[in-house]
Chains A and B, each alone.
Chain A
Amino acid sequence: SQQGEEDPQALSIQEGENATMNCSYKTSINNLQWYRQNSGRGLVHLILIRSNEREKHSGRLRVTLDTSKKSSSLLITASRAADTASYFCATDASGNTDKLIFGTGTRLQVFP
């Protein structure tokens, strides 16, 4: 069963706007990762946040983690058409931190 559920399932915005995607998970984690998947391609790792971190930045990406609510958010600022992709959160599986459990993803469409 999925550990993570993303919200919304789909998001459409204009270039220059910010995009926020949320991920909720069910059990305790050691870390949470976000991945991007362009159409017809494999997933690409974006950023990892550890359970003892609350916020992390990488370029135009900002990730927050609230372990008390078992939720994370990914913010993409000043979106570009090239950001059009599906975004997945992934959490480490209980007892084995090499394995990941992926959420169902958010499909982001950025219109020029």
Chain B
Amino acid sequence: NAGVTQTPKFQVLKTGQSMTLQCAQDMNHNSMYWYRQDPGMGLRLIYYSASEGTTDKGEVPNGYNVSRLNKREFSLRLESAAPSQTSVYFCASSEQGPKRPQHFGDGTRLSIL
């Protein structure tokens, strides 16, 4: 019963490098989300996907791109990493519609030097 799986769990990058964070869910959920969590800031939404083939910007989308590859997978790409993007990144999924709880992966801890 995997739920939401994120890879990698840890990553260190140099400024200017690119990388893709992977997320997959096995709950047949339509909606998927990418958040970042910084100390004292709670979680902030980066991008959201209501269904396969659709994506929408969240609160802090600058410097990121996303791809909803299929219903299961939703990836987050940093094209040119910056130190300000050092954070813990969480992927989540939910059934579509109001009052649906979100299910989270265990996060990717990303440090950019």
Complex Cα gap A50–B94 (Å): 17
Query: Is residue A59 contacting chain B, with contact meaning CB distance below 8 A?
Result: no
What's the tally of chain A residues with a CB closer than 8 Å to chain B? 25
Q: Do B101 and A33 have beta carbons less than 8 Å apart? A: yes
Residues of A within 8 A of B35 (CB): 102
A98-B104 in contact (CB<8A): no
Contact B106 A48 (CB under 8 A): no
Q: In the complex, which residue of chain B has the Cβ closest to the Cβ of A43?
A: B104
User: In the bound complex, do residue A45 and residue B98 qualify as a contact, i.e. CB atoms below 8 Å apart?
Assistant: no
Chain B residues positioned under 8 Å from A31 (CB to CB): 98-99
- Which positions 29-81 of chain B face chain A at CB distance < 8 Å? 31, 33, 35, 40-45, 48, 50, 58-59
B98: nearest chain-A partner, CB-CB: A97
User: Which residues, 85 to 99 on B, are CB-close (under 8 Å) to A?
Assistant: 90, 92, 94, 96-99
Q: Within A1-48, which residues are at the interface with B (CB < 8 Å)?
A: 1-2, 4, 30-31, 33, 40-45, 48
CB–CB B40/A45 < 8 A: no
CB–CB B97/A45 < 8 A: no
Known interface pairs A2-B42, A42-B4; A99-B58 also in contact (CB < 8 Å): yes
Knowing A98-B50, A103-B42, the reply to whether A50 touches B106 (Cβ < 8 A) is no
Write the residues of chain B forming the contact surface with A, with a CB cutoff of 8 angstroms.
4, 31, 33, 35, 40-45, 48, 50, 58-59, 90, 92, 94, 96-107
- Spell out A's residues near B (CB within 8 Å): 1-2, 4, 30-31, 33, 40-45, 48, 50, 88, 92, 97-105
- 6 A–B pairs (Cβ distance < 8 Å), ordered by A: A2-B42, A48-B101, A92-B98, A98-B100, A102-B35, A103-B42
